[in-house]
Structure 1
C-alpha cells in the first residue's frame, strides 16, 4: 500500500511519488461522482474534464453524449469518497428548511454542499472553478484556497 500522492510502479516494484500514470493517451475514464465530468489521459496523467452543458459522460461510448434521462443518479449516492476530506473540520449541518441552501466546504473550495429538505449533498465545481461564498456559485475568477 502506497502513501497518498504515490502509486505502485510495477517495473520498479516500489511506491513512487506522483499520480498513477494514465495510458493510452487521450483515453477517457468515468468520474465516479459526477455525470457531467470525466477523466482523460493527457501526457500520462488523468485530468478532470467536463462535458458541454447538457451532456453526460457515456461509459459505453467513452465520450460525452446527450443523457438518456435528466436525472443524474450519482448525485444521490452520497458516497463519502465523492467529497474532499474536511481535514478534521466538521462538515456543515443543514438548516431545517424546505428551501435549497448552499454551504461552503470547510477545507477545499473546489467543493461545496447544498441542502435539500434538510439533507446534505456534497458537490464539486467544474475544473478550474472554485466555490465563491459571496455569490454562492462556482467561479473561475475566485481567488479561493
Structure 2
C-alpha cells in the first residue's frame, strides 16, 4: 500500500495529499514521519468506493484567489497562504478555506503539498512554530481517524458576515492494497 497518502477535508470535500518521499503518514502523531520498519501502515484506510468523493487538487502558479468557474466536485484548487508558510487554502466553490499543514511541515506550492523544507523569505512560523491555538479532537472509528479542527473560515465578502465556522479535517492513511 501507499503509506505516504492521507486525506484532508475542506468542508465536505476530501482532498488527497501525500507525505514527502521517504516519509509516511503517522496517524498517531498526525504528521509525516520516517517509517520505523518496513511493516504495513498502522491505522490504514483502504481507498475503496465506499470512501468515494476523494477529489484531485491543483496548484496553479498564477492564481492568488479562488477562481469563479470551478467544479469542486471533481477538482479543488489549492492556494498558498500570503503570510503563514504552514498554511494553505482550499477553494470550495469560490470560498477559500484555510487549512494547516501537519505538524513540522510547510506548504510547498510548486509541489502542491506540505513538505519539510521551509520556504525562503518571510514566514510567520518563525519564533513560535506549530503552537496550535485551536482545539483538535481525534476520534477513532472502524474505518478512519477523524480530526475536527475549529478554525475561522475566511470572510466570503457578504456584508456583516462574522461567523466562525468549524472545518472538519479528516485525516487518514490510504492503503491501495485493501
Larger Rg: 1
Identify whether the pair has TM-score above 0.5, normalized to the shorter chain: no
**Normalization by structure 1: what TM-score?**
0.36
**Normalization by structure 2: what TM-score?**
0.30
**Higher RCO, 1 or 2 (CA under 8 Å, sep at least 6)?**
2
